[in-house]
């Protein structure tokens, strides 16, 4: 009984820490996005709240918290309240299987614990795919329940877009799974140890560079970010599926979008760029401090992807709807399928040790 | 503990399945179906078939049901009244099936013995042992591409036929699209 209690307490502590870090990262991202966009457009970005505007996220959070909560007339109250929750929970739940640092165990009161991953289940990546696909319900139901034309159109666009690009995400990672021979994110990351030439973007026998490009583009589309932000295209649909939302319900959708960005960045880092492995063999720091290095490298890779999201937003115009669909089905899908074919042949010809 | 979980999942599955067909609002029906899919996945997890659970959610909840929802919203049916005059037919079918189930139950007796299942991997290996040795996903892969290769091929052929059928139906005649 003591063991169960201890494990529960440790897991709860881990969950609290991970959620804290994710939500903190979201806060940083809201400011970073405005600052990066500002600098890229030769502006200063937010400067009013605190020195150089660094307290802006807190001001934004307080504003959202105190705003009036409006439910539009004729809206379906139950679904209108359910949608933001359905959108946020799947975005946060995926972090349960992401390895944030080296897979070592610590001993605490005589029991073994893994400090850097909440749960190393052997279908890790499928678990994440399953829950990200649930996130679409929040968007669709939110759009439908608002009783507004703009919201409904945004929700429907999102449904079509998420289904199309989810397929590409799933097929793009199959190549990595073939090479790693596992669905567990921890095992996949461990298989990429020993220098950047072992990362699956560059790895022998067949570099997953095509899969990587397909994954990154599809991930941007799945998180509804520019240039694939059709569900919320402000020049056509006001704000798409969350036009009618205000206050904390709006904040939930907002949090979900940023949490999803962090999640897809974590998966991209873990699957293609070696996760917490450094780009050189071994570690620079001594054995008992090596975990700091691992965590820093993981964070650096994740932030690189997050910066890419902002960079794309500052650079590219939005796609038209038919362009989006044609690109997803006629360009990305064949590339992903071809990659699976070639990778399977390569994995068959050069089986790993 | 396992029994407790089984009855929770089974109970919710039965309840939500009934709700799917009795609720008048199609959106609520779809949502009940979503809850049901999740509990079926939960049932798979209690049976230590995690791969099946994940695939259940990805395929049914993530793709097929979203398409249902899409169609229901596009058609904008708030309340569907057409199919509610089928009570005599439904009662007839229901009574027939109920009789069959009861007859089976009485003929076989209410023994707790599990029905005979074809062994999936090897002959001597217990299912639990096979899973513990290699892992759930590997076991399914091995079984699917060795023991059940022929059914697997047939299933993929049927899907291919369906896909070709959809393409033929949706295709415009040559020259028609240029106008």
What mean pLDDT is predicted for residues A273-290? 76
Partners of residue A159 in chain B, C-beta under 8 Å? 66-67, 69-70
Q: Give me the residue from A122, A144, A159 closest to B50, CB to CB.
A: A122
pTM of the model: 0.82
What per-residue confidence (pLDDT) applies to B78?
A: 58
What per-residue confidence (pLDDT) applies to B82?
A: 59
What per-residue confidence (pLDDT) applies to A1?
A: 63
Q: What percent of chain A has pLDDT over 90?
A: 1
Q: What is the mean pLDDT of chain A?
A: 82
Write the DSSP string, A268-323.
Answer: HHHHHS-TT--SSSS-SS-GGGHHHHHHHHHHHHHHHHHHHHHHHHHHPPPPPHHH
Element (H, E) at A107: strand A106-108
Q: Give me the residue from A129, A131, A156 closest to B70, CB to CB.
A: A156
Q: Is A238 on the interface with B (CB under 8 A)?
A: no
What per-residue confidence (pLDDT) applies to B77?
A: 60
Task: Name the residue with tokens 């960005």.
Answer: A261
What per-residue confidence (pLDDT) applies to B157?
A: 94
Please tell me which residue of chain A has the smallest CA distance to B50.
Answer: A123
Provide the token pair at A311. Answer: 């960079």
User: What is the distance between the alpha carbons of residues A218 and A263, in angstroms, rounded to a whole number?
Assistant: 14
Does pLDDT of B170 surpass 90? no
**Which segment of A19-28, A80-89, A146-155, B32-41 scores lowest on mean pLDDT?**
A146-155
- Interface ipTM: 0.77
Model confidence over B44-82: pLDDT tens digits?
888 877 888 888 888 888 888 888 887 877 776 655 555
Contact B50 A152 (CB under 8 A): no
| CB A241, CB A151: distance < 8 Å | yes
What per-residue confidence (pLDDT) applies to B161?
A: 94
Q: Is the dihedral of CA A11, A13, A17, A20 positive or negative?
A: positive
Does pLDDT of B162 surpass 90? yes
What mean pLDDT is predicted for residues B82-102? 82
Task: Name the residue with tokens 């009783």.
Answer: A147
What per-residue confidence (pLDDT) applies to B69?
A: 82
Residues 6+ apart with CB under 8 A from A80: A71, A72, A142, A145, A146, A244, A249
CA dihedral A42, A47, A52, A57 (to 10 degrees): -110
**Which segment of A111-125, B27-41, B51-65 scores lowest on mean pLDDT?**
A111-125
| CB A31, CB A46: distance < 8 Å | yes
User: What is the distance between the alpha carbons of residues B47 and B54, in angstroms, rounded to a whole number?
Assistant: 13
| CB A79, CB A151: distance < 8 Å | no
| CB A135, CB A256: distance < 8 Å | yes
What per-residue confidence (pLDDT) applies to B96?
A: 92
Residues within 8 A of B (CB atoms), A 181-200 only = 183
Does pLDDT of A335 surpass 80? yes
Could you tell me the residue ranges of all domains in chain B? 1-118, 136-179
CATH of B1-118, one of 3.40.50.300, 1.20.120.1200, 1.10.10.10, 3.40.190.10: 1.20.120.1200
pLDDT band at A320 (very low <50, low <70, confident <90, very high): confident
Total residue length of chain B: 179
Partners of residue A97 in chain B, C-beta under 8 Å? none
Provide the token pair at A64. Answer: 């959202």
Model confidence over B106-159: pLDDT tens digits?
887 655 555 554 444 444 444 444 445 556 777 888 888 888 889 999 999 999
Angle between helices A247-272 and A56-66 (to 10 degrees): 140
User: What is the distance between the alpha carbons of residues A295 and A293, in angstroms, rounded to a whole number?
Assistant: 6
Nearest in space to B53 (alpha carbons), one of A262, A12, A183:
A183
What per-residue confidence (pLDDT) applies to B164?
A: 92
B115: which DSSP letter? Answer: P
Contact B62 A160 (CB under 8 A): no
Does pLDDT of A308 surpass 60? yes
Partners of residue A136 in chain B, C-beta under 8 Å? 62, 66
Selected for mutation to probe chain B from A75, A79, A87, A126 (highest B CB count within 10 Å) is: A126
Q: Give me the residue from A126, A136, A159 closest to B51, CB to CB.
A: A126
Contact B66 A159 (CB under 8 A): yes
């Amino acid at each position: 009984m003591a063991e169960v209690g201890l494990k529960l307490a440790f897991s709860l502590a881990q969950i609290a820490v991970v959620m804290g870090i994710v939500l903190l990262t979201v806060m940083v991202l809201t400011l970073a996005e405005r600052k990066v966009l500002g600098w890229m457009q030769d502006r200063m970005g937010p400067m009013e709240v605190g020195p150089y505007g660094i307290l802006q996220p807190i001001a934004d959070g307080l504003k959202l918290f105190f705003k009036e909560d409006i439910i539009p007339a004729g809206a379906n109250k139950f679904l209108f309240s359910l949608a933001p929750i359905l959108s946020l929970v799947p975005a946060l739940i995926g972090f349960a299987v992401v390895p944030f640092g080296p897979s070592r165990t610590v001993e605490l009161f005589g029991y073994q614990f893994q400090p850097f991953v909440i749960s190393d289940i052997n279908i890790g990546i499928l678990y994440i795919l399953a829950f990200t696909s649930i996130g679409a319900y929040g968007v669709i139901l939110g759009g439908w329940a608002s009783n507004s034309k703009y919201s409904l159109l945004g929700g429907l666009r999102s449904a079509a877009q998420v289904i199309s690009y989810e397929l590409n995400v799933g097929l793009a990672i199959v190549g990595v799974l073939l090479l790693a021979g596992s669905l567990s994110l921890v095992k996949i990351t461990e298989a990429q140890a020993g220098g950047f030439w072992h990362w699956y973007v560059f790895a022998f026998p067949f570099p997953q560079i095509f899969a990587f490009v397909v994954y990154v583009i599809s991930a941007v589309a799945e998180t509804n970010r520019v240039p694939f932000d059709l569900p919320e295209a402000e020049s056509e649909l006001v704000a798409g599926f969350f036009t009618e939302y205000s206050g904390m319900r709006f904040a939930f959708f907002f949090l979900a979008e940023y949490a999803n960005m962090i999640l897809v960045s974590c998966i991209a880092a873990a699957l293609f760029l070696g996760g917490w492995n450094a780009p050189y063999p071994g570690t620079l720091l001594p054995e008992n401090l090596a975990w700091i290095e691992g965590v820093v490298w993981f964070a650096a890779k994740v932030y690189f992807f997050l910066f890419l999201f902002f960079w794309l937003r500052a650079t590219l115009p939005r796609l038209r709807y038919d362009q989006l669909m044609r690109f997803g089905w006629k360009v990305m899908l064949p590339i992903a399928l071809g990659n699976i074919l070639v990778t399977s042949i390569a994995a068959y010809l050069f089986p790993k040790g | 503990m396992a029994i407790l979980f089984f009855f929770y999942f089974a109970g919710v599955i039965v309840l939500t399945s009934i709700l799917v067909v009795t609720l008048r609002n199609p959106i609520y029906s779809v949502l009940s179906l979503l809850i049901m899919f999740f509990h079926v996945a939960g049932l798979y997890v209690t049976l230590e078939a995690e791969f099946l659970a994940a695939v259940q959610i990805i395929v049914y909840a993530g793709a097929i049901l979203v398409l249902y929802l899409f169609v229901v919203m596009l058609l904008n049916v708030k309340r569907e009244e057409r199919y509610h005059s089928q009570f005599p037919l439904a009662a007839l079918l229901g009574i027939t099936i109920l009789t069959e189930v009861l007859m089976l139950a009485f003929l076989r007796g209410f023994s707790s013995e599990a029905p005979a299942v074809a062994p999936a991997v090897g002959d001597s290996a217990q299912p639990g042992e096979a899973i513990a040795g290699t892992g759930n996903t590997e076991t399914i892969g091995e079984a699917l591409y060795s023991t059940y290769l022929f059914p697997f091929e047939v299933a993929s052929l049927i899907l291919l036929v369906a896909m070709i059928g959809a393409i033929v139906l949706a295709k415009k005649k040559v020259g028609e699209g240029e106008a």
